[in-house]
Amino acid sequence: MSDHYYTNTPQSKSQQQSWSAELRGMDFTFTTDSGVFSKEKVDYGSTVLLNAADLTVFPEGPLLDVGCGYGPIGLTLAKLDPKRTVEMVDINERAIGLARKNAADNAVSNVSIYPSSLYEAVQHKAFAGIFSNPPIRAGKQTVHRILEEAVDYLKPGGLLTIVIQKKQGAPSAQKKMESVFGNVERIALDRGYWILQSKKAQ
């Protein structure tokens, strides 16, 4: 493999493909490409995260999908709650282009999709919730930055929700979220995928 998905401009030759998926009882058509995460199907961890997401417990306000890839998490959240805006960011410019196409193809208009290295482009914003299937291949330091810095971009009472496999560092992520937020709950567990959630103090 010449490069991986956690890069600004993948060098792998573009080979777009389209396929259908059902997420939270809703039908989607996704176009994916080489050089993006989980191009053949929606990653199982993302599906577990979406199935665990209960947007009724979040305060009012926009949501943020960090490392959105071609868009399955952010677009599903946006369709689940059309009254919210969902902002979707990724360092991978190819993924951002695909996410924008997938938003248009699935008639999801309450989204804002733009390139960002983690939170770099979302300065001075406050979200009701931050979601992430973090880029494990980018390394533990990057994953933990998503967890550590999330608190700065959440409204009081806002929630950080992530998915991470036990074998890829879920216990370590759980400890990091506990240290940052003073609380963490594992709200779902499926095939070794942990869904961890922390709440910012009111």
Angle of the 93-105 helix axis to the 72-80 helix axis, nearest 10? 30
Please give the mean pLDDT across all residues of the chain.
92
- Whether 29 shows a pLDDT value over 60: the answer reads yes
Q: State phi, psi for 80 to the nearest 5 degrees.
A: -70, -35
9 — pLDDT class (breaks 50, 70, 90)? low
Tens digit of each residue's pLDDT (9 = 90 or more) over 62-120:
999 999 999 999 999 999 999 999 999 999 999 999 999 999 999 999 999 999 999 99
pTM: 0.93
Q: State phi, psi for 147 to the nearest 5 degrees.
A: -70, -45
Run of H or E residues at 114: strand 111-115
End-to-end CA distance of the chain: 46
4 — pLDDT class (breaks 50, 70, 90)? very low
Report which residue type is found at 3.
D
CA-wise closest residue to 90 among 109, 56, 125, 66: 66
* Maximum Cα interatomic distance, the chain, rounded to a whole number of Å: 48
Distance between CA atoms of 15 and 157, rounded to whole angstroms? Answer: 42
Sign of CA dihedral 11, 16, 22, 26: positive
